[in-house]
Amino acid sequence: MIALLRLFRFLRGSGRALALSFGLLLASTALGLVQPRLIEMAIDRGIEEGSPRAILWGAAGIILAAVLAAGLNLASGYALIRSSQRMGYSMRNALYRKVMGFSFENLDRWRTGELMVRLNSDVNTVRMFVRMGMFIIVQSVIMIAGTVVAMYLTDPGLARVMAVFMPLILILFFGVANLIRPLFMRVRIALDALNNTLQENLAGAKLVRAFARQREEIDKFARRNRDLFIISMNVGYKLSLFFPLFFLIAQLATVVVLWSGGTTLISESLSGAAGNLTLGKLIAFNNYATMAMFPLLMLGMVLNFVSMAMASAIRLEALFAERASVQEHPAPRRLPSLRGEIRFEGVSFRYGKGERALDDIHLVVHAGEKLGIIGATGSGKSTLAHLIPRFYDPEQGSVWVDGINVRDLAFDTLRTRIALVLQETVLFSGTVRDNIAFAAPDAPSAELEHAAAVACADEFIELSPEGWNTPVGQRGAGLSGGQRQRVAIARAVAARPDVIVLDDVTSSLDAATERRIIENLYREFQGRTAIIISQKVNTIRHADRIAVMEGGRIADVGTHEELLRINPTYRTIHETQAGIGSEGSASV
C-alpha cells in the first residue's frame, strides 16, 4: 500500500479536481441518505395517517433527491476521470524519461517486454484504480459512516443488531484481500514472462521461420500463457469466496432486523403501548441496512482493483527507484568541440559478475589519428568503444578525452561530439531521410546528401523510385543488411562529430563498397579522429596505427607492416583472410 500511496505524488496538479470530486461525492451520498427518511414520512404520515399529500411530497422528494444525486455523481466521476488521466499521463512521461536516462548496464538488466508492461499495463492499472477503485472506496467509506449514524438515529436497538454483522463482513473482506494480494504479484510476473516471449518472437519472427522453430516457439508461448492462466484462475477462485459468504451474511442480517423489528411492532400493537419504532422507521432502517451492506459489497468488488494496483505500484516504484549506473557529473564540463585525443589508463571492466571483458588497458589515440582495432570475437573491442561516450563506466582505471576525464564531461558533449556507429544496426520506422537526419534534424539537404555519398548510400537511394522518401519499416525492414549499415554510417557522418567510432559496421558490405566507404571516411575525417573496429584486416590496414586485442588486453599496437612482423595473431588473421601461407606473409 505504501508504494501505491507514493504514486499519488503524480496527483499533485489535480488537487482542486480531487477536492471537487470528493465534495460532490459527499453531497451525493447525503442525498442518498435522505431517501429512506422520505420513505418513512410517506408511510407513517401518508399511509398510516391517510394523507395523500404526504405520500406525494415523499415521492416527489425521492425522485428529486435521486436526480440530484445522479447529477452530482456524474460531475464527481468526470473530475476523477480528468485527475486519473493526468496521473497516467504524468507517470508515463516520468517513466519514459527514467528509462531514457538508463545506461547500457541498466538496459542489460531490464528486458524490453518487461519495460513495456510496466509503462503500459502497470500504469493503466494504477490509473484505473484512481478512476474506479478510489471512487468506490471513498464513496463506500462515506456511505458506511453515514448509514451507521442514520441507523443509530432511527433505532438504536436495531443498530446494535447490525453492529454484530458488519464487522463479520469486514473480517471477510480483509481475509480474502490477504489471500489474493501475493497472487496478483505472481500474475504480473507471469504477464512479464508472456510479454517477453511475445516481444522476442515478434522481433525474431524471421529467424524462427528460418530454422523452422515455429512449433517449439508456439509451445513455449503456450507454456507461458498457461502459467498466467493457472495463476489468474487461482486468483478468481479465491476472490469468488467473498461474494457467496457476503450475501449469506447480508441476508442473515436482513432476516434478524426484520424479525427483531417485526416482533417489536406486533407486541406493541397487541399491548396497545406506543413505542418509538413505527412501520415507516422499520422500513427506513431496513433501507439503511441495505445501503450499509451495498458499499461493503462494492469494496469486495474493488478488492480486485486494489490488489492489482498494489502489485503494479510496487513494480513501478522499483523502476522509479532504479538508479542509472552511469551518472552525469553534477556540474559537467561542456565543450563546443573536441580535438579528439582519447586515452585509456589502466582500464578494466566486466559485465555484471562475469569474467573481465577488459583487463588493464593502456592506450592513447592521438588527435586526428585513424586507429584500427582488431581481434577475435569476445576480445573486448566493442566494450572498449562503449566506454568512450560513457555507455558504461570502467570498474578500474579511467578514460580521458582531450585531457579531461570523461566522468567530468557532459553527456551531450560526449555523445554529440563523438559518434559511435553500433555493431547492431538500429533504424527507426520512417523514411531514409528521417533516419539519416536522426542526429541532425536541422541539417540542410546538401549536408545529408553529402553524408549519404560518404557512406555510399546515395547509390541505392537514387535507384529507389521514392528516393529519399523510401519507407523504412521497424528495425530497418525493407532495406538489405548492407543498405542498413550504409544508412547508419551516413547518420553518424551527418552529425558532423569530432570523433567517429565504427564498430564492425561493414560486415554486410561487399569488398568493393567497403573499400570505397573506408576511403571516403578517411578523406571526410582528415584532421579528425576515427576509430575503426573490424575483424577484417583489409578494413583497417591503411589506418595510422592498429591495436590488436586478445582476451581483453592490448597485445600490440603498430602499423600494418609492423604487426605482421611482431604479432603472431595479427599475422595469422591476415594470412587466413588473404588465403596465403605463412611463407608468403613477407610479400604483403
| Residue 343 clears pLDDT 90, i.e. is over it | yes
- Asked if the structure places residue 465 within a domain, the reply is yes
Residue with cell string 441507523 = 151
Q: Is residue 35 part of a domain?
A: yes
Give domain status of residue 420, yes or no.
yes
Is residue 587 domain-resident? no
Kindly report the CATH number assigned to the domain that includes residue 451: 3.40.50.300
Q: 553: pLDDT confidence band, cut at 50, 70 and 90?
A: very high
* Spatial distance between the Cα atoms of 366 and 52, rounded to a whole number of angstroms: 103
**Domain span holding position 45:** 2-321
Give yes or no: residues 355 and 462 share one domain: yes
What CATH number has the domain bearing residue 149? 1.20.1560.10
337 inside domain: no
190/244 same-domain check:
yes
Orientation angle between helical segments 279-321 and 242-271, nearest 10 degrees? 160
One domain for residues 354 and 257: no
Q: Single out the residue of 326, 495, 324 nearest to residue 406, CA to CA.
A: 326
Residue 269 lies in a domain: yes
Query: Is residue 158 domain-shared with residue 256, that is, in the same domain?
Result: yes
- Nearest residue to 125 via CA among 259, 310, 268, 252: 310
Counting residues of the chain whose pLDDT is more than 70, the rounded percentage is 94
Is residue 328 included in any domain, yes or no?
no
User: pLDDT tens digit string along 160-197?
Assistant: 888 888 788 778 777 777 777 777 778 878 887 887 78
Q: 554 and 454, same structural domain?
A: yes
* 125 and 90 fall within a common domain: yes
Considering 77-86, 146-155, 288-297, 565-574, the range whose residues carry the highest mean pLDDT is 565-574
Same-domain status, 164 and 290: yes
Q: Average per-residue pLDDT in the chain?
A: 84
Query: Does 46 share its domain with 161?
Result: yes
Q: Is the pLDDT of residue 54 over 90?
A: no
Residue 588 predicted with pLDDT over 80: no
What residues contact residue 19 under an 8 Å CB cut-off, 6+ apart?
Answer: none
User: Roughly how many angstroms between the first and final C-alpha of the chain, as a whole number?
Assistant: 72
- Band the pLDDT of 271: cuts 50, 70, 90: low
Any domain includes 105: yes
- Count of structural domains within the chain: 2
Alpha-carbon distance 536 to 374, whole Å?
Answer: 8
Give the integer Cα–Cα distance in Å for 588 and 586.
6
pLDDT greater than 60 at residue 429: yes
> 432 with 353, same domain?
yes
3-state secondary structure 233-260: HHHHHHHHCHHHHHHHHHHHHHHHHHHH
Residue 63 carries which side chain, given as an amino acid letter?
A: I
In this structure, what C-alpha cell is assigned to residue 162?
Answer: 447490525
The answer to whether residues 405 and 553 belong to one domain is yes
Beta pairing class for 529-533 and 370-375: parallel
User: Residue 50: which pLDDT band, with cuts at 50, 70 and 90?
Assistant: confident
Confidence of residue 117 (pLDDT cuts 50, 70, 90): confident
B/e letters for 353-381, b = 16+ CB within 10 Å, e = fewer, are eeebbbbebebebeebbbbbbbbeeebbb
Does pTM surpass 0.85? Answer: no
Which residues in 382-526 belong to E strands, given as ranges? 396-401, 404-405, 418-421, 430-431, 471-472, 499-503
Same domain, 484 and 444: yes
Strand order in the sheet with 356-365: 356-365, 342-350, 396-401, 404-405
The helix/strand/coil state of 345 is strand
Strand partners, 404: 401
Q: Please count the CA atoms within 13 angstroms of the CA of 154 that sit on its side-chain side.
A: 32
Residues 484 and 377 in one domain: yes
Contacts of 376 by beta carbon, 8 Å cutoff, 6+ apart:
535, 550, 569
Residue with cell 470528493: 22
* pLDDT digits 0-9 by tens, 291-333: 887 787 777 667 667 777 888 888 889 888 888 888 889 999 9
Q: How far apart are CA 18 and CA 230, in angstroms?
A: 38
